[in-house]
Chain A
Amino acid sequence: MEKTELEVKGLRLTRGSNWTLNVPSFELRKGECLVLFGPNGAGKSTFLRVVALLEEADGGEIYYQGRLIKDNNRTELGRRAVYLLQKPIFFKGTVRENLLLGLKFRRFEPSEQLKRLETILGLFQLEPYLDRSPFELSGGEKQRVHLARAFIIQPDFLFLDEPFNGLDVDLKDVLLEDFSRIRKSIGTTTILVTHNRDEAAFLADRIMVMIDGEIVQAGPVEEVFSRPATPEVSRLIGHETLVEGITVGEEQGLLKILAHGQTILAYGSAQAGQRVILTFRPEEVILTREKPTTSVRNWFYGPVEEIKSFDRLTLVSVNCGFNLKAIISRASLEELNLQPGEQVWAGIKASALTVAAP
């Protein structure tokens, strides 16, 4: 996991007058799945295409397994990677022909092609579609063929641009799990672009957040999701709970704020009667079944709306007059044994709340 497979130095690419992709340094480790996360137009796809050698940057160096990419080794080294466009685009011919295309480009022996085809058919359950035209398949089936034709190549690098976009939810969940399992079993070093945080949380070994062409934060999922480096990242991750309220006075040096019929205590200063916005991060929330007697000042009670499990973390949404989001570890979730619809206490320390003018 520690070996650097892909390295980027001083990458710059300017588009028009006000948009620049600027990545001073970037490293991809062997076997990891890096999720490139960010809003639309942040430059994720462009960065991916540059790293996949499909587009040239204005400046900078790219190294594949220690070798600098130059004009004369672009095709050769480029064949160590496979990039999949967001939309599954197929070539004339059957599913079989489409699956084998990458191997044909690389001039694999027919016997090896067949061997790999069999393996990949099993993994992606594509046997029944082999002799059909990919254009006749359903959206989910198309996406399977799309992914399978990358994995069949067994590339050193896999670059995926929003591969699960536009699929309906049930289909997406199945495909996400299949993809994750297959990727881990083969150990393909992957960069995946998405603006969907659930996908990011589920797939990523490491997340890299890109905004306006720059990497603003990179790290393990837990770290980026629980400690967003900037307000932008925190907004992007979107787990912050925002509550609007009105200051009604002070109590023991704390601001007393009325929000959704409840009194909330927080540190801060504001005139009585002033409208304020309270924000707190989901990892600061404590969930319990019984109201405890601790120093925690603010307690909310309500039914669990939704439980979303990521790899090691769980996001719990609680309806306590407002939508409260909590991130807890998988272990705590098991201990609590929460189910959607059940009532739960959510506690938050006064010091964890931020008070701001709206």
Chain B
Amino acid sequence: MSLAEILQITWLSLTVSGLAVLLAFLTGLPSAIWLYLRDFRGKRFIISLINTGMGLPPVVIGLFIALLFWRNGPLGFLQLIYTPAAMVIAQFIIAFPVVAGLSFVAFEQVETELLLQARALGASRLQMIKILINESRLGQLAALIAAFGGVISEVGAVMMVGGNLKGYTRVLTTSIVQETRMGNFSAAIYLSLVLLALSFTVNWLLTSIQHRGETKWKRPNWK
């Protein structure tokens, strides 16, 4: 396996999963805000659905997306099966409940009277939402970390909707499966290390943002 090939695979892994998480963040966060601020019948039901979604096996999601985009399927005309776009969509569906669900929990951790005090100091609705996001920043980033960790490491969905096509839809996880199957253990190990390094780098970046501005870790002294 050439270096160029590895770089291409790594780059695709990063962009597919990164894009999926970005989309999940852009839709999941507003959904969580909406859920948090509104009271309506069936709210609890929706929260349960989202929580269930967090634990859905990627292969099941892969199956549904594959059925949807199959040539004769309802969305077959889009010709997305075995494309990176289909992989992004599948991973987005895996990441969305994680982002929405964990963001919602993060909002619930914020003291309820905080928004009331913000309003009472003159905050508009938008300013209250900004306060809400800022106060739950740790939780929001935890949601991103969990979502990214989930999709960068999953293999079932990308395999089923992407097809592991060399040079087109092959990503780190699918190539590790491929190399192992072919008995190329050293290549598989090498790719695994790349995957781990990639995962670590992204998480380290997110963790740095998460704890930006925190002067010290507040915890009791265990000595």
Q: Please give the residue numbers on chain A whose beta carbons come within 8 Å of chain B beta carbons, in ascending order.
A: 52, 54, 75, 78-79, 82-85, 87, 89, 91-92, 101-102, 105-106, 149-150, 153, 159
Contact = CB atoms under 8 A, between A and B. Distances in A.
Contacts of A82: 120-122
A54 B116 contact: yes
Contact of A149 (B116, B121, B124, B127): B121
A52 B124 CA distance: 15
Contacts of B39: none
Contact of A105 (B113, B116, B122): B122
B111 A89 contact: yes
Interface string B132-146: 001101000000000
Nearest to A161: B120
A280 B159 CA distance: 89
Interface residues of B, number: 18
Contact of B118 (A84, A91, A150, A153): A91
B42 to A, nearest CB: 24
B209 interface: no
Contacts of B127: 105
Contacts of A149: 121
A190 to B, nearest CB: 14
Given A75-B124, A106-B122, A153-B122, A85 B134 contact: no
B211 to A, nearest CB: 13
Interface in B93-140: 111, 113-114, 116-125, 127, 131, 134-135, 137
A89 B121 contact: no
Interface of B: 111, 113-114, 116-125, 127, 131, 134-135, 137
B197 to A, nearest CB: 33
A54 B115 CA distance: 11
Given A89-B117, A101-B118, 9 more contacts: A52-B120, A75-B125, A78-B119, A83-B120, A85-B120, A91-B134, A102-B121, A102-B122, A149-B121
30 contacts: A54-B116, A54-B120, A75-B124, A75-B125, A78-B122, A79-B122, A82-B122, A83-B120, A84-B117, A85-B116, A85-B120, A89-B111, A89-B113, A91-B114, A91-B134, A91-B135, A92-B134, A92-B135, A101-B118, A101-B121, A102-B121, A102-B122, A105-B118, A105-B121, A105-B123, A105-B124, A105-B127, A106-B122, A153-B121, A153-B122
| Interface residues of B, dominant DSSP | helix
Contacts of A84: 117, 120
Contacts of A150: 121
B141 to A, nearest CB: 14
10 closest A-B pairs by CB: A83-B120, A105-B122, A102-B121, A79-B122, A89-B117, A105-B123, A85-B117, A102-B122, A105-B127, A89-B113
A91 B132 CA distance: 10
Contacts of B125: 75
Contacts of B114: 89, 91
Contacts of B134: 91-92
Nearest to B125: A75
Contacts of B120: 52, 54, 82-85, 159
A87 B113 contact: yes
A329 B176 CA distance: 91
B27 to A, nearest CB: 25
Given A79-B122, A101-B121, A102-B121, A85 B135 contact: no
A276 B135 CA distance: 61
A147 to B, nearest CB: 12
A79 B123 CA distance: 8
A113 to B, nearest CB: 14
B136 to A, nearest CB: 10
B209 to A, nearest CB: 15
Nearest to B115: A89
Contacts of A75: 124-125
A92 B131 CA distance: 9
Contacts of A91: 114, 118, 131, 134-135
Contacts of A78: 119, 122
A153 B120 CA distance: 12
Contacts of B124: 75, 105
A118 to B, nearest CB: 20
A101 B118 CA distance: 9
A4 B160 CA distance: 72
Contacts of B118: 91, 101, 105
A83 B123 CA distance: 12
Contacts of A83: 120
Contacts of B122: 78-79, 82, 102, 105-106, 153
